[in-house]
C-alpha cells in the first residue's frame, strides 16, 4: 500500500520568512496530493491540492510542487504569519482507491 | 463550522468498556470516513462508507465496528477498550467515493481510556 512520509516533525521559522515542507510517497500510481492544515482543537482542513498532471499550483501565499520522478511533493508558504502556526499533513491517493494516506504531520511554528 | 458534526467532543471511560462515537456528514455528502489520530501515528484511516455501504477498510481493529445509516449519519463503535485506544477520532465526509475527493473533517471526538 501507499506510504507517505514527512520530515522533519517540527519546523520553526521567523515571521516573514518562507517555510518549505516536503513529503515523499511510495506508490508511483498515486496521482492526487492534498495538503491539510490542522489548527489547535480543530479538524484538518484542505488548503491546497495538486494532481499528477500538474507540476506546480499556487494560491496566494501557498504553493505546492510535485516531482513525480523523485516521488516527492512540497508545500511552500511565503511571508509566514503567526496564524500559519499549525500542524500540516500531506497525503496521497490513487484515484480508483478511496483511501487517502496521510503523513504523520509536521508542526510549523512561526515566531513573531 | 465545517458542516461535519461529531459527538461527543470528549469522552472518558475505563478499560474494557464500550463507547459509540457519532458523526453527521456535511449536507449533500454521501461518503463518511473515520480516522484515528494519535501523537505518534498521525492520521490513521479506519474505514469508509458510501451511501450506507462499506467501501474501504484501513487499520481498523476487530474490536471496532462502524456503520452508516439511511439518513447518512455514521457511528463508530469501540469495544473492550484498552489504554492504547486513547486518541482523537475524526469523522470526515465527501461528495463521492474516489480518492481525489476533498475531505471535510469534523472537530473530532477525544477518547480517554483510564
Burial of A63 by CB count in 10 Å (0-12 exposed, 13-18 middle, 19+ buried)? middle
Cβ atoms within 10 A of the Cβ of B65, count?
A: 14
Confidence of residue A95 (pLDDT cuts 50, 70, 90): low
By three-state DSSP, how is residue A89 classified?
strand
Interchain contact B112–A (C-beta under 8 A): no
Q: Could you tell me which of A98, A109, A27, A22 has the C-alpha nearest to residue B50?
A: A98
Interchain contact A12–B (C-beta under 8 A): no
Burial of B96 by CB count in 10 Å (0-12 exposed, 13-18 middle, 19+ buried)? middle
* A46 neighbourhood in chain B, CB within 8 Å: 102-103
SS (H, E, C) A40-80: CCCCCEEEEEEECCCCEEEECCEEEEEECCCCEEEEEECCC
pLDDT, one tens digit per residue, over A34-86 is: 999 999 989 999 999 998 888 899 999 999 999 999 999 999 999 999 999 99
pLDDT, one tens digit per residue, over B37-62 is: 987 778 999 999 999 999 989 989 99
What single string gives the DSSP state of each residue in B96-109?
S-STTSPPEE---E
Alpha carbon dihedral A93, A94, A98, A104, in 10-degree steps, equals -20
Beta strands A56-59 and A62-67, pairing class: antiparallel
Confidence of residue B96 (pLDDT cuts 50, 70, 90): confident
Does A97 have pLDDT greater than 70? no
Contact of B87 with B101, CB cutoff 8 Å: no
Interchain contact A43–B (C-beta under 8 A): yes
Residue B71 distance to chain A (closest CA, Å): 21
Interchain contact B114–A (C-beta under 8 A): no
Closest residue in A to B3 (Cα) is: A43
Q: Report the alpha-carbon distance of residue B2 to residue B5 in Å, rounded.
A: 8
Does B68 have pLDDT greater than 80? yes
* A32 neighbourhood in chain B, CB within 8 Å: 99-100
User: Which residue reads 490513521 in cell numbers?
Assistant: B44
* B90 neighbourhood in chain A, CB within 8 Å: 43-44
- Whole-number pLDDT of residue A63: 97
DSSP state of B18: -
Amino acid at each position: 500500500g501507499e506510504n507517505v512520509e514527512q520530515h522533519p516533525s517540527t519546523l520553526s521559522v521567523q515571521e516573514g520568512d518562507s517555510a518549505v515542507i516536503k513529503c515523499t510517497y511510495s506508490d508511483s500510481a498515486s496521482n492526487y496530493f492534498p495538503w491539510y492544515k490542522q489548527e489547535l482543537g480543530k479538524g484538518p482542513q484542505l488548503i491546497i491540492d495538486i494532481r499528477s498532471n500538474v507540476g506546480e499550483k499556487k494560491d496566494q501565499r501557498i504553493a505546492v510542487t510535485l516531482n513525480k520522478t523523485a516521488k516527492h511533493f512540497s508545500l511552500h508558504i511565503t511571508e509566514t504569519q503567526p496564524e500559519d502556526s499549525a500542524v500540516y499533513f500531506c497525503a496521497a491517493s490513487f484515484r480508483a482507491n478511496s483511501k487517502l494516506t496521510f503523513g504523520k504531520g509536521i508542526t510549523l511554528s512561526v515566531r513573531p | 463550522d465545517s458542516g461535519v458534526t461529531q459527538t461527543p467532543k470528549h469522552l472518558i471511560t475505563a478499560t474494557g468498556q464500550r463507547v459509540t462515537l457519532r458523526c453527521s456528514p456535511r449536507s449533500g455528502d454521501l461518503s463518511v470516513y473515520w480516522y484515528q489520530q494519535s501523537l505518534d501515528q498521525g492520521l490513521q484511516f479506519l474505514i469508509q462508507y458510501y451511501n450506507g455501504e462499506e467501501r474501504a477498510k484501513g487499520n481498523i481493529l476487530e474490536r471496532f465496528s462502524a456503520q452508516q445509516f439511511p439518513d447518512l449519519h455514521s457511528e463508530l463503535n469501540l469495544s473492550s477498550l484498552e489504554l492504547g485506544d486513547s486518541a482523537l477520532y475524526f469523522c470526515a465526509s465527501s461528495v463521492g467515493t474516489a480518492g481525489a475527493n476533498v475531505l471535510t473533517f469534523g472537530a473530532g471526538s477525544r477518547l480517554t481510556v483510564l
